[in-house]
Amino acid sequence: MTKKVAVILSGCGVYDGAEIHESVITLLRLDQRGAQVQCFAPNIAQMHVIDHLTGEEMPESRNVLVESARIARGEVKDIREAKVEDFDALIVPGGFGAAKNLSNFAVEGANCTVQPDVLALAEAFAGACKPVGLICISPALAAKIYGPGVVCTIGTDADTSAAVVKMGGTHEECDVHDIVEDTQRKLVTTPAYMLAKSISEAAGGIYKLVDRVLELTHEGDK
């Protein structure tokens, strides 16, 4: 039975949107495993725009949904159209967009809030006990979605893991090639470019995450 997976993108580009390698690896693995995928993104302005050549902020404005369409080859919908009952699982790639556009974690840290439409969808998956995969910096939002006690990883970064703990999460250090699973909540996380030194290193953990998320969708299948 074909599984349907929603993927939330946060723009296009590691410094101000979705991490492109992580996003493409996720979409590739889902396709390789025969999943049916629909990308979503919030229809909002980015926090800011970064010149990826120089790392400097640019004096312009871009839309998260429009920029996400670059990665999704135009096949992306406003996240407000997403309905949890239409999907078996949810995956959120990383990149600073997760901490700048899907939330304000990059600015507020442990005091952050999640963008309302993103939070509503993620909470719906959590409430339905459907598998969720959070990649790279995205697990920093886990405690805001699941509440205190949620188990996740962002790798080994001390400051970020401390923020996760301050928000009520339980952080487990994790190698770039591996995943951490909260079995009670069906949440799977992996560090990816929080630790990866190459695209193939990032791919190792992301492939494991996608595979495990899809395995969890089959629990209870007859």
Set out the domains of the chain in order of their start, with CATH numbers.
Answer: 4-217 (3.40.50.880)
- DSSP annotation of 114: B
Check residue 31 and give its pLDDT. 98
Position 186 pLDDT exceeds 80:
yes
CA angle 174, 218, 195 (to 5 degrees): 15
Neighbour-count burial for 69-88, b at 16+ CB within 10 Å, e otherwise = bbbbeeebbebeebebeebb
Q: Are strands 180-182 and 187-190 parallel, antiparallel or unpaired?
A: antiparallel
Check residue 1 and give its pLDDT. 84
Is pTM beyond 0.85? Reply is yes
Distances (CA, A) of 63 to 26, 43, 129: 22, 7, 31
- Among residues 39, 136, 152, 174, which one is catalytic? 136
- Measured between alpha carbons, how far is 185 from 222 in angstroms, rounded to an integer? 21
Residue 222 pLDDT grade (very low, low, confident, very high; cuts 50, 70, 90): low
pLDDT (mean) for 115-140: 98
136 noted as active-site residue: yes
Check residue 107 and give its pLDDT. 97
pLDDT (mean) for 54-82: 98
Distances (CA, A) of 46 to 81, 89, 148: 19, 26, 29
